[in-house]
Amino acid sequence: MDELQIRKTGRAGRITLTRPQALNALSHPMALAIHKALDDWRDDAYVALVVIDALGDRAFCAGGDIAAVYHAGRAGDHGVGRDFFRDEYRMNAAIADFPKPVVALMQGFVMGGGVGVGGHASHRVVGDTTRIAMPESGIGLIPDVGGTWLLGRAPGRIGEYLALTGARMGPGDAIHAGFADLYIPEADWPGLIATLEETGDLGCLAGHPAPAATLDRRDLSAFGGRHVADIIAALEQAGDADTLNALGRNSPLSMAAGLAMVRAARADTRMQQSLSREYRFTARATAESDFLEGVRAQIIDKDRRPDWQADAGPDALRAMLAPLEQDELLWEGAE
């Protein structure tokens, strides 16, 4: 596959995203191939650990390759989107539950689907160029790929802030927010990978002092508001124009759903619960949300002027997050 290199090198299972010209955007075949590789290596005695990295300086993975989902949805075929999101989420869970160490080296943009690949590894490495974000509300979607699970575990109100604004985190903030574990200068990564391949031993994986975080010094108390309207009112009272501008660009339905889902995820005991809740929204997204309009404005036509039309009221929100009955995303071992 031109989009991905999967191989065994020494003691390591190696997965490299190879679409630098597309910022290593994750396609449906890539998600399936990553999941299959993990299944193949689970009981392989020669594979001591897995290393996930990506070609190019600009991005580890800047998101999901959703053009096919968009075009199918516009044509009235909503099954393409449901299939993509379902298989992507199963791959995300396979990374999180893999019984051997998974080391992800995440440079440049790590957004949306990229967080789903790297953000659930057992050892998440960032460098100076790393910029992590969950910007889905800007395309009429919600933080998915297990993003609500991570956001729900961020300190304070950071999870709500990141979900609603789509703000980017540098390496220090990514570690502080729980999206990464170790800061290692990117110049050291080739040697680190070679050692992991040769030894299969994590002893070489030592983090350096991370750049200072900034999120821990921000007053995010406004994001404790019960509803998005309450958050906006608090930001207006505080005179926080920059944050208000960020919220003003995003889908009201997506922000309402993201807020509810981050908070619901705090009670989850398994990431799979968060993924199933996310799937309730994304399985309906091409038919019943602002998603197609957001993708049109940001990715297809690139006019950056989405015309948000989806109802963001409480009844619409409940409908978007209601169980899917026979289409619910279920997991082995679930109670």
Model confidence pLDDT, tens digit, residues 246-272: 999 999 999 999 999 999 999 999 999
pLDDT at 81 over 50: yes
Pairing mode, strands 4-9 and 102-106: unpaired
128 in helix, strand or coil?
A: coil
- In sequence order, which residues have a C-beta less than 8 Å from that of residue 191 and are 6 or more positions away? none
Quick one: pLDDT band at residue 277, thresholds 50, 70, 90? very high
112 part of the active site = no
Query: CB–CB of 70/295 below 8 Å?
Result: yes
240 part of the active site = no
Looking at 144, 181, 278, 290, which residue is catalytic?
144
Phi, psi of 53 (to 5 degrees): -145, -170
Looking at 13, 63, 112, 113, which residue is catalytic?
113
pLDDT tens-digit map of 90-112: 999 999 999 999 999 999 999 99
Is 249 within a domain? yes
Is 223 within a domain? yes
Quick one: pLDDT band at residue 333, thresholds 50, 70, 90? low
Q: What's the whole-number mean pLDDT along residues 40-57?
A: 97
Percentage of the chain exceeding pLDDT 70: 99
Concatenated DSSP letters for 32-87?
HHHHHHHHHHTT-TT--EEEEEESSSSEEE-SB--HHHHHHHHTT--HHHHHHHHH
144 part of the active site = yes
Is 58 within a domain? yes
Q: What is the mean pLDDT of the chain?
A: 97
Looking at 53, 88, 136, 181, which residue is catalytic?
136
Count CB neighbours of 174 within 10 A.
Answer: 28
- Range of the structural domain that residue 275 is part of: 4-327
pLDDT tens-digit map of 285-317: 999 999 999 999 999 999 999 999 999 999 999
Task: Tell me how far apart the alpha carbons of residues 74 and 133 are, in angstroms, rounded to a whole number.
Answer: 27
pLDDT at 218 over 80: yes
Looking at 64, 112, 114, 159, which residue is catalytic?
64
Percentage of the chain exceeding pLDDT 90: 98
Task: Tell me how far apart the alpha carbons of residues 292 and 272 are, in angstroms, rounded to a whole number.
Answer: 26
Task: Tell me how far apart the alpha carbons of residues 36 and 9 are, in angstroms, rounded to a whole number.
Answer: 17
Q: What's the whole-number mean pLDDT along residues 144-152?
A: 98
Quick one: pLDDT band at residue 335, thresholds 50, 70, 90? very low
Is 153 within a domain? yes
Q: What's the whole-number mean pLDDT along residues 131-135?
A: 98
Q: Look at the chain and report how many structural domains it folds into.
A: 1
pLDDT at 334 over 90: no
Is 28 within a domain? yes
294 part of the active site = no
> 103 pairs with which residues across the strands?
51, 123
pLDDT at 157 over 90: yes
CATH code of 101's domain:
3.90.226.10
Q: What's the whole-number mean pLDDT along residues 181-203?
A: 97
